[in-house]
Structure 1
Amino acid sequence: MDRGKRPGKFLGERHNKIYMDLKDIIREHALPFLPAKSLFRFQGVCRDWKYQISTPFFAHKQSLGFRAISGLFCQTLGDPPLFVSTDLKSCGVPDPSLKFLPVPFDIKSSSNGLLCCQGCTEDKAFYICNPVTQQWTKLPKPNADHGPDPAVVLVFEPSLLNFVADYKLICAFPSADFDDATEFEIYSSKEGSWKISGEICFACRMPMPRSGVHVNGVVYWRAKHGGILAFDLTKDRSRFLQSYFGGSGGLGMMDGKLCTAHASGCSIKVHVLANVHSNTMQMNSNSRMWEEKERILLDNQVFGGDALDPLAVVFANSDVLLIQNGKKFYAYDFKSKETKLLHGVSEHDAKCVAYVNSFVCI
């Protein structure tokens, strides 16, 4: 009778096979959520970790698991880029100047570990690259003339079932047939070709280069004279959204919605797009296109007691705001409510794009 109640030797051995060692748990379930620079360092822990991190399957898991913004690529026109890291110990790239690309270039857009660069040579070709793995590919020539400084947005959303990076490059460019109109051309890596959309936006508001973001199948650009230009990739339709915030506001995504962050002095207000159809609602409706999501008062002492230059929000999402003050950059963490100075400086007129430290393979 008592024999069946006692845990025997067989039961103990069975439990030893069920439970993993801590080192195995970390290797299998923690490493894929770390940035690429940290993983390069962890390859020296042991042979198992080095093998694990170097496999294509792990690179795929890491591109799915790590999505945090790791810093900014900043570039003055015609000069090599600089990388401003949010954490020097964990986030970085082997060569911030991207010398592995075959021609001089300007960085145009970024998405989940991939960069879009445009060559400064005569053909103005587009290149998609990963600064971590130094892999790159040259895109075919577009069908339309996009102008000297095109407003392009790179869209890459890692997929669990897709080991090859499928991405799109969306370009909004001045129409050659209609004055003050904007047309759109899309490159699909799956199709390997460009396609000009039949949509034409006559809103007379040209999009600003390097201002675009992608949110839930819609690409948004800040317009040069105020407002936001939107292009729906699924419906192949565009529209112009009114925005009553200053021109220095940065676009981003917060809680799955388009957001815009505008700085005034040491105060930052973040608004989210709540209802794009608010102008069609009945009179006296409480529905508004934009809703205030956050109001942040930054500590002036962080800027040395006197912010001589106007603050500009260069990136915003649910976790962090990246802020430029002259040649310096700062990060505001929504969880800790703290603002820290980032290591790295840039020129006043440098153009910046946010970057995710990913192992994604092209």
Structure 2
Amino acid sequence: MQTSLCVSLSLDQKLRTIQIKFNNCERNLIRSIMDRGRRLNKVIANKNSKIYRDLKDIMREHTLSFLPAKSLFRFKGVCRDWKLQISTPFFAHNQSNSFHNCSGFFCQSFSSPPSFISLDQNSYGVPDPSLLFLPEPVYIRSSSNGLLCCQSRTDDKAYYICNPVTKQWKKLPKPNADHGSNPALVLIFEPSILNFVAEYKLICAFSSADFESAIEFEIYNSTEGSWRIFGEIYFGAEELKPRSGVHVNGIIYWLFDSGGIVLFDLSMQRSQRLYGHNNGCLGVMNGKLSLVTVYNQTLTVSVLSNTYTNTMALNSRVKAWDTKLSVNINNRLELSGVPTFGPAYDQRPVLYASGDLIVIRGERGLYSFNMKTQEFVGLRAEADHDDHDMVFIGYVNSLVDI
């Protein structure tokens, strides 16, 4: 009996010993898991802190390219990394593909050199608004996504393509035809992420030397480096408004001086006439051709909905234009806190219309109208635009490399 009791006590001791060892192992396992959790949290914390630490690099690499050129030149002074980033050709290529906002207007008359009106003095601008970096005095004829097309004031009438931000320029070869003293030119530059060299086209509608009251069309292609006259001739033509041309989805539109529109399809190489107002201004809004007019203090924005109304049956109810906006200018000016418009400064008060921006000329100055906010802003006072032949050309503050 004593022997059996001893055996029982020995077993109990062994069981307690095993239990103690098991408990110790369990505690060690739990402690190990907890330690791993702490180490995991430290790793996650380190990774998160790395993300926040690299935020400045993310901004430098992925957001700067959406800013205008003038702002970018100022931001070169932030740090050495930003300066190196902004100075690379690849960055200039990305910026020209990312930034397309209208930044201001080059304005010029026949009696004065070019000047620049910025929509934001702190953000938009060019170092030499008079374009004195070009080899000779010029007239600005057209603009497209940061590039300007200029023409010599001399008898040579040479064409130049330039970027007023970088002061780069290129003289084009002489065209095959005589484009006249005030040519109706349209510059087309559509940035592409795949093209590191700017590829552009320059199209001119000019009076035919062989046919009376006829218009012919000539194109310069930068990839070919030469001019070519199309075979299409538009008969029954009138005088074209020189700087009225716009490009929309492969089609060029010009206003006739007495009213109406002529279009030229680049792919089909065909011309056609549309109807419009002689005091209007052509533009591009939401990828469609727009016509903006001012009549009896009313600003009207119309969008082309049908280009084939001239081929419809007589008394057809199909309209060529849809009215998108009609506002009383003086009422809107009072709401915006801007001095009243007054009577129209001339018969063509609309100077610019594209995107969400419209610029009109009144008796008391120049006004811009934002289509989104429905607000007017005064751009210039009456004394600043005494020249009746002043023209306005929209400009994008781009670093595009020619």
Equivalent positions of 1:153-302 (< 5 A) are 153-243=186-276, 245=277, 247-281=278-312, 286-298=317-329, 299-301=332-334
Provide the TM-score with structure 2 as the length reference. Answer: 0.84
Higher relative contact order (CA 8 A, sep 6+): 1
Superposed CA deviations along residues 63-90 of structure 1, whole A, max 9, x for unmatched, are 1111111111111114211111111111
Equivalent residue for 1:312, pick from 336, 346, 349: 349
AA matched with 1:312: P
Provide the TM-score with structure 1 as the length reference. Answer: 0.93
Equivalent residue for 1:41, pick from 74, 79, 99: 74
AA matched with 1:75: Q
AA matched with 1:307: G
Contact 2:344 2:361 in 1 (8 A): no
Aligned residue for 1:334?
Answer: 371
**Structure 2: how far apart are the matches of 1:116 and 1:144?**
18
Equivalent positions of 1:94-109 (< 5 A) are 94-109=127-142
Contact 1:76 1:350 in 2 (8 A): yes
**Structure 1 residues 37 and 250, CA gap change in structure 2 (3 angstroms):** same
AA matched with 2:155: E
Aligned residue for 1:121?
Answer: 154
AA matched with 1:280: T
Tell which deviates more after alignment, 166-175 or 277-286. 277-286
Contact 1:270 1:292 in 2 (8 A): yes
Tell me whether 1:352 sits opposite 2:397 in the alignment: no
**Structure 1 residues 100 and 18, CA gap change in structure 2 (3 angstroms):** same
**Structure 2: how far apart are the matches of 1:295 and 1:309?**
17
AA matched with 2:290: C
**Structure 2: how far apart are the matches of 1:38 and 1:207?**
38
AA matched with 2:359: L
Tell me whether 1:322 sits opposite 2:359 in the alignment: yes
**Structure 2: how far apart are the matches of 1:63 and 1:24?**
21
**Structure 2: how far apart are the matches of 1:113 and 1:272?**
25
**Structure 2 residue matching 1:140: 3-state secondary structure:** coil
Root-mean-square deviation (CA), in Å?
A: 2.1
**Structure 1: how far apart are the matches of 2:316 and 2:343?**
42
**Structure 2: how far apart are the matches of 1:248 and 1:41?**
40
Contact 1:201 1:238 in 2 (8 A): yes
Shift of 1:234: 1.1
Which protein has the larger Cα radius of gyration, Structure 1 or Structure 2? 2
**Structure 1: how far apart are the matches of 2:54 and 2:298?**
48
Task: Figure out how many residues of one structure are paired with residues of the other and give that number.
Answer: 360
Contact 1:88 1:343 in 2 (8 A): no
Contact 2:105 2:394 in 1 (8 A): yes
Shift of 1:122: 2.0
AA matched with 2:196: F
Tell which deviates more after alignment, 290-299 or 168-177. 290-299
Tell me whether 1:50 sits opposite 2:83 in the alignment: yes
**Structure 1: how far apart are the matches of 2:170 and 2:46?**
52
Tell which deviates more after alignment, 77-86 or 111-120. 77-86
**Structure 1 residue matching 2:349: 3-state secondary structure:** strand
Equivalent positions of 1:67-106 (< 5 A) are 67-106=100-139
Superposed CA deviations along residues 134-168 of structure 1, whole A, max 9, x for unmatched, are 00000000001111111111010000100111000
Contact 2:333 2:375 in 1 (8 A): no
**Structure 2: how far apart are the matches of 1:306 and 1:109?**
28
Q: Which runs of 5+ in 2 are unaligned?
A: 1-29
Tell which deviates more after alignment, 346-355 or 141-150. 346-355
